[in-house]
A = this chain, B = another copy of it.
Amino acid sequence: MFASVDIGGTITSCAVASGAGQMLAERTIPTLSHEGPDAVLSRIAATINELAAGQGQKLAAFGVGVPGLADFHRGRTLFLPNLPTGWRDYPVADRLSAAVGCPVFLLNDARMAALGELWYGQGRGVKTMVVFTVGTGIGGGVVIDRKLRLGPLGAAGEIGHQTILPDGPLCGCGNRGCLETLAGGPALMGAGIRLMKSGHAPRLYDMVEGSADRVTPRLMAQAAAAGDSSVREELVRAARLLGIGVSNVITVLYPELVVLGGDVASAVGPLLIDAVRREVRERVRLFPVDKVRIESSALEEKAALWGGVALAIARVKQASGQPAAEAI
């Protein structure tokens, strides 16, 4: 049996699954990250141990996804922008491993989602694909010949930090004009608040009763569908900028498939994916792009949790010397 956890800024999803890739039990707990890594990891270990005990089986391996930069090879979190500084260079894998009694493997959550999509989602049967995870930030993962591209630290695939506008807004990473600053959740919400405050989004205004902090990408998509054409325009504009990022990656890698996941992509829905597809057709002109499929996530908010299962299974297979076509 295998365990998986997707640690988020607010909530943490926990699961145990069979080696055949069947989810056996799941539970969502609050992260309560202000309590620091010791407390958070104790709670996670207790939850996983309880889920495992409920199945009466021993854990073989445990995949853990974290929102930020982690050292895959040393099992340490390096920089998690949405969690307190106590996580800097913290030995997450060792601590969890001691508490659950099996090897623990640590990966950035977007890379883990890409692995989930590869094994259990849109990527089944696909050799080369790129996964964009569009949420507050924009993360990603690159898969070539069914192998997740890791690079040093497991940090390859940071496709949300491509420069799309050289003199664009300052990004959390320190660069300017990263895709994430232009098409991530806060960029959309900023546009929604601005339009609402300036009287250009009456439907959105009604939905949130004029309250800026209730504006979300999902409500913006609903307002656009209900007739707020300016909101629709801004959502499409952001999606087209996302489309530039997608086009660049297609130009470099010519993958079979691009998957658009993450809560913002899911909330905005067809409006987003259609605009991305249009932009790609306009931008990638040097080679035929009609066979590059661009699809929404099949696993949605559970992609990373599934990815943790895949990660755990893959590492156990590798450790036991089994031929792993799907290595990591």
When chains A and B are docked, how far (Å) is the Cα of A156 from the Cα of B248? 11
CB <8 Å contact, B252 and A157:
yes
Q: A163-B244, A247-B163 are in contact. Are A151 and B286 (CB under 8 A)?
A: no
Identify the closest chain B residue to A159 (Cβ): B252
When chains A and B are docked, how far (Å) is the Cα of A14 from the Cα of B203? 68
CB <8 Å contact, B253 and A142:
yes
Chain B residues positioned under 8 Å from A288 (CB to CB) = 152-153
- A241 is an interface residue with CB less than 8 A from chain B: yes
Query: A247: shortest Cβ distance to chain B, in Å?
Result: 6
Chain B residues positioned under 8 Å from A219 (CB to CB) = none
- A283 is an interface residue with CB less than 8 A from chain B: yes
- A200 is an interface residue with CB less than 8 A from chain B: no
Chain B residues positioned under 8 Å from A241 (CB to CB) = 166
Chain B residues positioned under 8 Å from A151 (CB to CB) = 128, 253-255
Contact with B along A6-23 (1 / 0, CB 8 A): 000000000000000000
Identify the closest chain B residue to A255 (Cβ): B151
CB <8 Å contact, A282 and B248:
no
CB <8 Å contact, B247 and A152:
no
- A274 is an interface residue with CB less than 8 A from chain B: no
When chains A and B are docked, how far (Å) is the Cα of A171 from the Cα of B282? 12
- A43 is an interface residue with CB less than 8 A from chain B: no
CB <8 Å contact, A287 and B152:
yes
- Pull 25 A–B residue pairs with CB atoms less than 8 Å apart, ordered by A: A69-B287, A144-B144, A149-B254, A151-B254, A152-B288, A152-B291, A153-B288, A155-B287, A156-B252, A158-B252, A158-B286, A158-B287, A161-B286, A162-B251, A163-B244, A163-B247, A165-B166, A173-B286, A174-B285, A175-B283, A175-B284, A175-B285, A248-B248, A252-B252, A252-B253
Which 5 A-B residue pairings sit nearest by Cβ, starting from the closest?
A151-B254, A174-B285, A156-B254, A155-B287, A173-B285
